[in-house]
């Protein structure tokens, strides 16, 4: 199973820039990379912040960009999204009985579970009792699961960033559910922090992915402000087979030199500099 994980594309109304760059061009380049090098992907999963301001025109642009792709695309919402505008633009998008963008599908004996961790007018994550109940039902009758979501459900040791993690009130129930199903949840995947971070939480491995726009700089002292920078973007390719997960970081905008070397090289002698 090969999954392309893209996040935080922050699309605007076409023509508007965001953070000094054109998010549409960046997203197009990411999709072009998928089209050219990952035709064998099984899913493209975009874990929220599909738009920056949540306007209908931004969602229309997203819809227009999702063409000629090698596999189905799964869309999640983030704190910058407007759930109503998203669902209006994508009326066929699955939703749970409470109209959250929570849904799941089975692929290669693994249940891919897509979570809606957003709340109205807050950048922090929310996943209250009604959503926990839905997730519990999804986990009950599967043997393997992989959770995709926008927000990190754990704190990461960065005080400012942690203010917009899953809210403290919702963390214990989520953690309890993870511990209860630790044997069947293979991985947690999220975006939101615009940086790569990996570890384990409640005994389950997790990994985040960069934004296709600007990146954030980890800061372990700052308590208020998030610091971003126009560093190279990337997305992730997740290869899953026979109990092994490999996550590749794909720097899709790199257009500088590429050096080649091979397995047959013999370079033990240090070259003598030409005089």
- To the nearest whole angstrom, how small is the minimum distance from the Cβ of residue 192 to Fe ion? 6
Side-chain half-sphere CA neighbours of 65 within 13 A: 26
Tokens of 20: 């000094």
Q: How many helices (H) and strands (E) does the chain have?
A: 6, 13
Measured from the CB atom, is 49 or 161 closer to Fe ion?
Answer: 49
**Cα–Cα distance between 16 and 9 in angstroms, integer?**
14
- To the nearest whole angstrom, how small is the minimum distance from the Cβ of residue 79 to Fe ion? 7
- To the nearest whole angstrom, how small is the minimum distance from the Cβ of residue 78 to Fe ion? 6
- To the nearest whole angstrom, how small is the minimum distance from the Cβ of residue 164 to Fe ion? 10
For helices 23-37 and 56-65, what crossing angle results, to 10°?
20
Q: Which residues bind Fe ion (CB under 5 A)?
A: 8, 49
SS3 state of residue 207:
strand
**Cα–Cα distance between 237 and 209 in angstroms, integer?**
10
- To the nearest whole angstrom, how small is the minimum distance from the Cβ of residue 194 to Fe ion? 6
Measured from the CB atom, is 47 or 138 closer to Fe ion?
Answer: 47
Do 248 and 237 form a contact (C-beta atoms < 8 A)?
Answer: yes
Measured from the CB atom, is 74 or 80 closer to Fe ion?
Answer: 80
Measured from the CB atom, is 49 or 116 closer to Fe ion?
Answer: 49
Measured from the CB atom, is 79 or 102 closer to Fe ion?
Answer: 79
């Amino acid at each position: 199973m090969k999954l392309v994980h893209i996040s935080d594309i922050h699309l605007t109304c076409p023509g508007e820039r965001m953070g000094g760059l054109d998010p549409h061009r960046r997203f197009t380049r990411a999709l072009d990379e998928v089209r050219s090098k990952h035709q064998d992907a099984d899913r493209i999963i975009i874990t929220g912040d599909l738009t920056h301001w949540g306007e209908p025109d931004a969602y229309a642009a997203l819809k227009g960009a999702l063409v000629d792709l090698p596999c189905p695309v799964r869309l999640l919402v983030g704190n910058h999204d407007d759930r109503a505008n998203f669902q209006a633009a994508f009326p066929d998008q699955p939703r749970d009985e409470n109209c959250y963008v929570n849904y799941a599908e089975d692929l290669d004996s693994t249940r891919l579970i897509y979570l809606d961790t957003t709340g109205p007018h807050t950048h922090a994550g929310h996943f209250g009792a009604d959503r926990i109940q839905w997730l519990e039902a999804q986990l009950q009758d599967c043997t393997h699961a992989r959770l995709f979501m926008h927000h990190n459900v754990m704190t990461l040791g960065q005080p400012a960033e942690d203010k917009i993690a899953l809210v403290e009130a919702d963390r214990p129930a989520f953690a309890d559910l993870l511990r209860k199903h630790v044997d069947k949840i293979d991985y947690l995947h999220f975006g939101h922090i615009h940086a790569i971070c990996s570890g384990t939480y409640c005994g389950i491995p997790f990994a985040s992915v960069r934004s296709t726009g600007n990146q954030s700089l980890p800061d372990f002292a700052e308590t208020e402000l998030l610091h971003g920078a126009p560093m190279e973007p990337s997305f992730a390719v997740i290869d899953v087979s026979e109990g092994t997960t490999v996550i590749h970081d794909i720097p899709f905008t790199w257009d500088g030199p590429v050096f080649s070397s091979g397995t047959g090289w013999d370079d033990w002698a240090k070259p003598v500099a030409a005089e």
